[in-house]
């Protein structure tokens, strides 16, 4: 990421000479060298670390999406002008009161600030290293004290803004599967250049100070993976087994990636799944460590957004309601914006692009021009601040894991979990190989893009042969 440290960014030109300026000249002998710029009105101040966060509107403090310590941000000032403004350059200075030089630029002001045009506003790039637990600043727009003009106190503003998010790192491990069902051994691109593209895409969307993306050794895979969903569950179970087998830390999200055909058009004719993930929403604040995983295809045109979307499900985020073919039960009924819109303006800290809510949609939707809404950014923030949770004090316990892909394929295995099981609690009628029947509780986690899901049943019920449940609102019978 390119950073302009100690400089202001105006109209996408980096202004050099960014230390505090000499105030000499222009005033009466013994008087002030500069005054608050006449005719300048500060209407709004916002900080963009992704979705827009207003910090001042009409001279009053404002609230919004959480600010994140250690995360780069764009500080943006929206102004208007009265006839008292003389059209001459104004020195805009932002002092972060952190012992480092203020950010400063001198320029003539645009007649009016326009949300869609960065060049119409005064903006400062703030590196994450200068955003701590609290953001204190003093902002001033000044001109030389010449011609007896009066000072304009309204061209200055100072504020203390709470930074809700602690410095944190979002960690993802890419797990490439060497697809050999067709004899090719085909691998998705996990070159350093591609890994950096993944990292930047995650950083643009997820409320983290930093993103680390590592790559696992390729996993050989000889079973078919179908565009309609067959075979995906087996890959997911393999991915699921890696964490315990290899001691992968709990705050690392595993992302399995593969390419069953050479091109996307070959795989998706006439239609296809691009990714599948279990909705990791129980418990809501942290989810289940074992379900911090997702699957998706590695075709270059769709790889980055597919990964970001599927990892959103692994953070417990359902779909935003936009796009055809969504299962109604997979839609977040609390999503506040129509047509999957992001709802307010956003800014990509990795490339400097503004995102207009009139055209941009949330990454959890199925629509185009994807970015992140303030709603889902805040939800991801809540999860991200909790993933490094204290360990639950509990003895390891064994469960039956019954994985059903909704296509007639199911997998039965015993697993050991430390802590509470994840998923929605459901009533299960279980039959054992000894022909005994028992009603017990289980925990069900549905897939996002398949009709099936994973069911956990306490292993103490015995050697299971058959289960019945109504987790999806209808009777489902699974036989071993």
The b-or-e profile of 222-240 (16+ CB within 10 A means b, else e) is eeebebebbbbbbbbebbb
- Considering only CA atoms, which of 117, 140, 107, 146 is closest in space to residue 24? 146
Beta-carbon contacts of 359 under 8 Å, excluding residues fewer than 6 positions away, are 369
CA 417 from centroid of its chain's CA atoms:
28
Please check whether the two domains, 8-162 and 169-384, share a CATH topology. no
Check whether domain 169-384 has CATH 1.10.3470, yes or no: no
pLDDT at 392 over 50: no
What's the pLDDT at 420? 67
Q: What pLDDT digit, counting tens, does each position of 367-379 carry?
A: 999 999 999 999 9
> Given this structure, which CATH class describes domain 8-162?
mainly beta
Q: Where are the domains of the chain?
A: 8-162, 169-384, 397-479
Stretch 168-173: mean pLDDT: 96
Indicate the burial class of 32 (C-beta count within 10 angstroms; 0-12, 13-18, 19 or more).
middle
d(CA 38, CA 426): 67
Whole-model pTM over 0.95: no
pLDDT at 324 over 80: no
Q: What pLDDT digit, counting tens, does each position of 117-134 carry?
A: 999 999 999 999 999 999
Q: What pLDDT digit, counting tens, does each position of 188-241 carry?
A: 999 999 999 999 999 999 999 999 999 999 999 999 999 999 999 999 999 999
Rg of the chain over Cα atoms, rounded to whole angstroms, equals: 27
CA 68 from centroid of its chain's CA atoms:
12
What's the pLDDT at 31? 57
What's the pLDDT at 168? 92
Query: By the 8 A CB rule, do 307 and 296 touch?
Result: yes
Q: What pLDDT digit, counting tens, does each position of 22-58 carry?
A: 343 444 555 578 999 999 999 999 999 999 999 999 9
Q: How far apart are the first and last CA of the chain?
A: 52
Stretch 453-464: mean pLDDT: 88
pLDDT at 417 over 50: yes
Beta-carbon contacts of 365 under 8 Å, excluding residues fewer than 6 positions away, are 319, 320, 321, 322, 323, 340
């Amino acid at each position: 990421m390119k950073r302009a440290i100690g400089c202001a960014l105006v109209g996408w030109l980096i202004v050099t000479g960014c230390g505090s300026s000499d105030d000499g000249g222009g005033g009466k002998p013994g008087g002030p060298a500069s005054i608050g710029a006449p005719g300048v009105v500060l209407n709004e101040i916002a900080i963009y670390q992704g979705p827009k966060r207003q910090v001042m509107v009409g001279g009053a403090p404002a609230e919004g999406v959480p600010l994140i310590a250690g995360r780069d941000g764009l500080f943006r000032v929206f102004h208007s002008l009265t006839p008292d403004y003389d059209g001459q350059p104004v020195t805009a200075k932002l002092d972060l009161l952190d012992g480092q030089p203020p950010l400063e630029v001198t320029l003539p002001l645009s007649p009016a600030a326009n949300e869609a045009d960065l060049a119409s506003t005064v903006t400062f790039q703030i590196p994450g290293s200068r955003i701590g637990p609290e953001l204190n600043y003093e902002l001033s727009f000044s001109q030389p004290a010449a011609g007896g003009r009066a000072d304009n106190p309204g061209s200055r503003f100072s504020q203390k803004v709470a930074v809700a998010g602690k410095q944190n790192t979002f960690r993802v491990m890419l797990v490439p599967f060497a697809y050999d069902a067709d004899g090719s051994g085909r691998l998705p691109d996990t070159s350093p250049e591609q890994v950096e593209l993944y990292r930047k895409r995650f950083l643009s969307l997820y409320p983290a100070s930093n993103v680390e993306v590592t790559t696992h050794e390729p996993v050989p895979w000889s079973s078919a993976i179908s565009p309609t969903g067959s075979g995906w569950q087996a890959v997911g179970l393999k991915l699921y087994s890696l964490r315990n087998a290899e001691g992968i830390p709990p705050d690392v999200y595993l992302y399995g990636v593969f390419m069953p055909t050479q091109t996307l058009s070959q795989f998706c004719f006439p239609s296809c799944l691009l990714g599948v993930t279990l909705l990791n929403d129980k418990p809501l604040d942290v989810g289940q460590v074992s379900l911090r995983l997702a699957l998706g295809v590695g075709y270059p045109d769709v790889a980055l957004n597919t990964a970001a979307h599927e990892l959103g499900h692994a953070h417990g985020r359902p779909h935003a309601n936009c796009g055809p073919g969504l299962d109604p039960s997979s839609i977040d009924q609390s999503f506040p914006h129509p047509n999957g819109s992001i709802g307010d303006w956003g800014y990509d800290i990795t490339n400097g692009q503004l995102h207009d809510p009139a055209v941009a949609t949330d990454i959890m939707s199925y629509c185009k021009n994807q970015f992140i809404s303030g709603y889902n950014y805040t939800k991801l923030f809540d999860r991200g601040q909790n993933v490094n949770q204290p360990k639950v004090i509990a003895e390891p316990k064994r469960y039956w894991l019954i994985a059903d892909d909704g296509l007639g394929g199911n997998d039965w295995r015993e697993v050991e979990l430390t802590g509470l099981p994840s998923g929605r609690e459901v009533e299960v009628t279980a039959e054992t190989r000894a022909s005994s029947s028992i009603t017990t509780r289980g925990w069900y986690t549905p897939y996002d893009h398949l009709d099936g899901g994973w069911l956990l049943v306490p292993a103490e019920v015995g050697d299971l042969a058959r289960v019945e449940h109504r987790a999806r609102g209808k009777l489902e019978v699974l036989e071993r």
